[in-house]
Amino acid sequence: MINSATLQTELNKQLARIALPDDDLIEKIDRELSKGKVARLRAETVI
């Protein structure tokens, strides 16, 4: 099952590919989104 955070991340990546054709920039955005996702997961599991 896909959760809403995963779906939003994938949507953001697709939108970035449309709006930003620069592959390096897309990869940078993807890394930053992944960092945020990992930080959220860690924050949720620390409790």
In this prediction the pTM is: 0.38
Angstrom distances, CA of residue 10 to CA of 13, 37, 38: 5, 12, 15
Taking each helix axis as running N to C, give the angle between helix 23-46 and helix 4-19, from 0 to 180 degrees, rounded to the nearest 10.
Answer: 160
Q: Give residue for tokens 């939003």.
A: 8
Per-residue pLDDT, 21: 66
Per-residue pLDDT, 34: 82
Per-residue pLDDT, 40: 72
What is the rounded CA–CA span in Å between residue 38 and residue 31?
Answer: 10
- Per-residue pLDDT of the chain (47 residues), as tens digits, is 567 888 888 888 888 777 666 777 778 878 888 887 767 767 777 65
Per-residue pLDDT, 5: 80
Three-class DSSP category at 45: helix
